[in-house]
Amino acid sequence: MKDEPSETRVDGSRLWSRLMELAQIGATGVPGEVNRQALSLEDAEACALLIGWATEAGLEPAFDSAGNLFLTLIGNEPDLAPLLCGSHLDSQPTGGRFDGALGVLAALEAASTLAGLGRTRRSLIVVAWSNEEGSRFAPGMTGSSVFAGTRDLHSIREQTDAEGTNLGDALDSFLARFSAIEKRPLGFPIAAYLELHIEQADQLEAHGRVIGSVTGIQGKKTWEIGINGSEAHAGTEPMARRKDALQAFARIAVALQEAVTSEAPEVMFTIGHLDVKPNAPSVVPAQVRFRMDLRHADETTLNRLGALVEQLIDVNAPPCATDIKRLVDAPPNTFDTDLRKGILAAAERLGHPAMELLSAAGHDARHLAKVTRAGMIFVPCRAGLSHHPDEWIEPEHAAAGAAVLLEVLENLLDEEG
Ligand code: HGY
Ligand code: MN
Ligand code: MN
């Protein structure tokens, strides 16, 4: 199976045309922009498209009760723990064509190539994780975290979207569309997990490299916070008597930004979601709800900053009250050293300049790394732009990433044990 390099065996043009076809599902009309929310009709259409391609290649589809889609290339020794390889199909509301999609379609490309070369020893399972992005149902990574046992299905089913739909109901209607597809139990032993992803930053581009062997993912904390004041007439309520939730939010937002960036300049701090009630121009705002995203590569610094932001919220909120809900508390992780070396060796064998780097963005692999050997491969992303319609990768880099993925998978598929 290994006589010719993986490069010549993956079908780069098939991969690219499938990326472009998938990008039509959820296309908003803004050039390059995709809005494919978790468990939406678009998400279901994307899964259906993937199932069609996979069954053509002889892979067997199945869903689990968290909405994860598995496409299995059955090996000669199906009792051996399988390899798992994939990413996610959901996108941010103004997302691009490659975030998540590349990892799923490259995994399908590798499996389809292997299917055409004869049976593998272990089974290879392509996976599309449910709700990685968390833009509709926060926090994200519900599919991979439930698979890995780091969250339970019951609690994620209670998450609600902006319209008040809970994830459980959306999941039931989503899965009902695939009633003919096999259902498999939640979680199963795997021999290793691999994920190809666009870098979503500009290190590879800046260093002229094509392949990134990811050392780990920086730590991340997210919160949902409510600031609770009281509405009043904008023309009559004396300023000194107001409990203006939006003014309190403004004080908090400025104080936190200044504090975290002066404490740790390489911190990533974002307030990306904001709701104001009643959001009427002549009413003093009664409530603000917002979500906060804090990231850092060093665990001690991240914990220190996390405590600082909660303290500053308490200091700046009065005379309003607050409610603080911690959503994600994920320390930095490191990926399997042998897989990292295997990715670099495969890149070298295939003649692609490579480097090791940390992932600033979060990925499902964070959860898989808690239950198995996990590794990630990056390809360059133009100007580091992602979660944006102008997200772009070169077709030859997509093919190179898929070829390296195939090479690493083949080594794992044949390994003993
Ligand atoms: O938030 C993240 O880092 C991921 O792209 N969802
Ligand atoms: Mn992603
Ligand atoms: Mn993303």
Where is average pLDDT lowest: 87-96, 115-124, 250-259?
115-124
The total number of residues written for the chain in this structure:
417
CB 226 within 8 A of CB 288: yes
Mean pLDDT of the chain: 96
Write the pLDDT tens digit of every residue in 232-280.
Answer: 999 999 999 999 999 999 999 999 999 999 999 999 999 999 999 999 9
Specify burial of residue 52 (Cβ count, 10 A radius: 0-12, 13-18, 19+): exposed
Task: Give the pLDDT confidence score for residue 100 in this predicted structure.
Answer: 98
| Bond prior to 318 in cis (omega within 30° of 0) | no
CB 54 within 8 A of CB 126: yes
Task: Give the pLDDT confidence score for residue 2 in this predicted structure.
Answer: 54
User: For a pocket test of ligand 1, which of 89, 200, 358 has the largest count of ligand atoms closer than 8 A to its C-beta?
Assistant: 200
Q: Give the model's confidence band at 1: pLDDT under 50 very low, under 70 low, under 90 confident, else very high.
A: very low
| Portion of the chain with pLDDT greater than 70, in percent | 98
Task: Give the pLDDT confidence score for residue 257 in this predicted structure.
Answer: 97
**Cα diameter, the chain:** 82
CB 406 within 8 A of CB 8: no
Q: Give the model's confidence band at 184: pLDDT under 50 very low, under 70 low, under 90 confident, else very high.
A: very high
Helix (H, G, I), strand (E, B), or coil: what is residue 21?
helix
Closest residue to atom 2 of ligand 1, CA basis: 362
The verdict on the CB of residue 75 being under 6 Å from ligand 1 is: no
| Portion of the chain with pLDDT greater than 90, in percent | 95
User: Given the structure tokens 């996390």, which residue do they identify?
Assistant: 306
User: For a pocket test of ligand 1, which of 130, 222, 363, 381 has the largest count of ligand atoms closer than 8 A to its C-beta?
Assistant: 363
- Euclidean distance between the first and the last CA atom of the chain, given in angstroms as a whole number: 20
Two tokens, residue 134: 């968390």
Write the pLDDT tens digit of every residue in 358-403.
Answer: 999 999 999 999 999 999 999 999 999 999 999 999 999 999 999 9
Where is average pLDDT lowest: 23-27, 113-117, 336-340?
113-117
Q: What angle (nearest 5°) sits at the alpha carbon of residue 288, between those of residues 287 and 290? A: 155
Task: Give the pLDDT confidence score for residue 413 in this predicted structure.
Answer: 87
- What distance in Å separates the CA atoms of residue 409 and residue 124, rounded to the nearest whole number? 9
Residue 31 alpha carbon to ligand 2 centre in Å:
20
Q: Any idea what DSSP says for residue 108? A: H
Q: Give the model's confidence band at 4: pLDDT under 50 very low, under 70 low, under 90 confident, else very high.
A: low
**Order of all β-strands in the sheet with 321-330:** 268-277, 287-296, 219-228, 321-330
Amino acid at 259: A
Which atom of ligand 1 is least distant from the CA of 92?
6
Write the pLDDT tens digit of every residue in 43-73.
Answer: 999 999 999 999 999 999 999 999 999 999 9
Write the pLDDT tens digit of every residue in 97-112.
Answer: 999 999 999 999 999 9
109: Cβ contacts below 8 Å, ≥ 6 apart: 10, 11, 14, 15, 18, 402, 406
pLDDT, mean of residues 204-215: 98
User: Given the structure tokens 């077709």, which residue do they identify?
Assistant: 395
**Statement: residue 120 has pLDDT above 60:** yes
